[in-house]
Structure 1
Amino acid sequence: MTALELDQILTLDWPPLVRKVMAGGADDWTKSFVLSIARNGKRLNWHPSPKQASLMRRLVADHKGTAGGEIEVIDE
């Protein structure tokens, strides 16, 4: 995972994902993982392991897939 990709995920994608996981019926392991990444992401030189990066990408993709559904166009 590049530094840019990590920054984008932690800044744009991770906060709403944390809120969704903590509010929803996610299992304890997922809650723990999401909070761990949020906490470690604040460390200056932290980078996820390849396995963590893969899980992060999958969680973000799953979240984006269920986040909004279709876009509604509003006419004025």
Structure 2
Amino acid sequence: MTYQPRTIAKSDEIERLLHYMPTVARLAENDWAANFARSILCQCNRRGWRPSPKQLSVMRSLVSDLFAHGGDEGGDFDLIES
């Protein structure tokens, strides 16, 4: 059995990835990643646009890295008890 990478994305996965692209652009560790995220945000406004398999792979990687590095800006927080 050979491993085949997942390249076809459902609309809900694409929407989820697009949701995080502004955060990726803002918190990117390098200019290339920030520019890629901004580019995707511009392209997604085109009618009928879908990411290419390579774009999709990069989007998945950037969002994964965002969560792996604790991409929340607020840091620790206190729960409000009532």
Give the number of the structure whose alpha-carbon radius of gyration is greater.
Answer: 2
What residue in structure 2 maps to residue 36 of structure 1?
39
Specify which structure has the bigger relative contact order, considering alpha-carbon pairs within 8 angstroms and separated by 6 or more residues. 1
C-alpha displacement of 1:74:
3.3
Mapped to 2, the partners of 1:31 and 1:20 lie a distance apart of 8
Distance 1:45 1:39, change over 3 A: same
Give the number of equivalent residue pairs.
Answer: 70
What residue in structure 2 maps to residue 16 of structure 1?
23
Q: Are 2:61 and 1:61 equivalent residues in the alignment?
A: no
What residue in structure 1 maps to residue 53 of structure 2?
50
Q: Are 2:82 and 1:74 equivalent residues in the alignment?
A: no
| TM-score (normalised: structure 2) | 0.68
Q: Percent identity?
A: 33
Which 5+ residue runs of structure 2 have no aligned equivalent?
1-8
C-alpha displacement of 1:72:
5.8
Mapped to 2, the partners of 1:53 and 1:36 lie a distance apart of 13
Mapped to 1, the partners of 2:32 and 2:25 lie a distance apart of 13
Aligned residues: CA RMSD: 2.1
